[in-house]
Chain A
């Protein structure tokens, strides 16, 4: 377990551990719980959907926006997602990322390993192909944060 979580920020490490402690059906239930916890978009995005970036790696329509408070590697990152209720798996992935990454500094976010989705022990529960969407979301979040931190 240590090798799976040693290089993760604490909130994310905790989520990874939580998934590993469960049986396969319970992992699916946990993902479902995450999907229900994804907060609604703030008005500044619902009024301006063009500010959100689509994530075509996901099988369902999902949009992500990254905000950086200030600039430079120590600036804090905030994440916002929009995904329909009919796409609970995608919503679950989004909430894992939000819960695990929101509030990190840009530097910490950029250091999150790209294979995060493969560490959640979800291959058996949701199939490997479906995890590609989460990897795509993470890549887009990092790119947005890096760009905004240097603005």
Chain B
């Protein structure tokens, strides 16, 4: 039984108002039957230093990534993970995390690959909850394990692979990395570790829209009109477009995927999780350096 939506008027403007909850909504519903709160952070120890009471931890490296293939876990492993966290298929999940919800959005996107019906983000994430002085605890939640069905992952709709991106060249692509990563001045985020890309630059034709433009200063999503001004008016994208978003490993682009898919109602948005760590290293794959999106090699007139 899904929990009610957050009636916050800001959310009502979005195409999918049920995908966000406010900190006050969560405070009110914490402990409700059928609700699971999941914390997903970049820092693997942050949950242990204090988390929203009753929340469970899902780590992107340890829980969502397969240990052998560069891929996500399979249906069986996912079912084990969810079951062990006390999450059933009909549970309403609210995900939150650090860094303006990058990793929370990434977890939500992976949960969506498995078609979990009701998964929402906490607008503003961990930082907003803390800034408001809401309760945190270091007591690890001890959920009773439940059965989660084994559901096969569906990569077709919201995930793009390298070959699909190659075939998509000339169609809308959004690069959500920082400006120096886009131009090729550097291959990783300022102040971040180099995760190993041989070449710097961007996918030919990709528009540069750093993910953070979608977030307000407090880490919440900007309102719909502000988002439309960026993605639709300024960048000329439209909800009917087939859009691929990418970053370095697919975490920041999950944030943008969420904005386009759930807040602006774009019909077809895929996250290219191979992102620059794959594209920048691949053999016989073109790149563009500099500030211009650049042209697509061998582009055909349509």
Contacts and interface: CB of A to CB of B under 8 A. Distances in A.
A125 B59 CA distance: 10
A127 B195 CA distance: 14
Q: Size range of the interface on B?
A: 10 to 19
Contacts of A136: 193
Interface string A36-68: 000000000000000000101111110000000
A59 B48 contact: no
Contact of B44 (A86, A130, A132): A130
B144 interface: no
Given A127-B44, A127-B61, A56 B49 contact: no
B219 to A, nearest CB: 12
A103 B46 CA distance: 30
A84 to B, nearest CB: 10
Given A28-B48, A88-B48, A132 B43 contact: no
B193 A86 contact: no
B45 A88 contact: yes
B45 A35 contact: yes
Given A32-B48, A129-B61, A86 B43 contact: yes
| Secondary structure of the B contact surface, majority rule | loop
Given A56-B191, A59-B192, A133-B193, A28 B43 contact: no
Given A59-B42, A59-B43, A87-B43, A129 B195 contact: yes
Nearest to A24: B62
A2 interface: no
A59 B61 CA distance: 14
Which of B45, B191, B192 has the most chain A CB atoms inside 10 A of its CB? B45
A140 to B, nearest CB: 13
A34 to B, nearest CB: 10
A88 B191 contact: no
Given A60-B43, A86-B43, A86-B46, A130 B192 contact: no
Interface string A117-151: 00000001111011011001000000000000000
B98 interface: yes
B193 A132 contact: yes
Which of A28, A59, A129 has the most chain B CB atoms inside 10 A of its CB? A59
Interface in B15-73: 42-46, 48-49, 59, 61-62
Contacts of A23: none
Given A32-B48, A90-B43, A56 B192 contact: yes
A86 B193 CA distance: 17
A88 B43 contact: yes
Given A59-B192, A86-B98, A32 B61 contact: no
A31 interface: yes
Contacts of B192: 56, 59
Given A60-B42, A130-B61, 7 more contacts: A32-B48, A56-B193, A60-B43, A86-B98, A88-B48, A126-B45, A130-B44
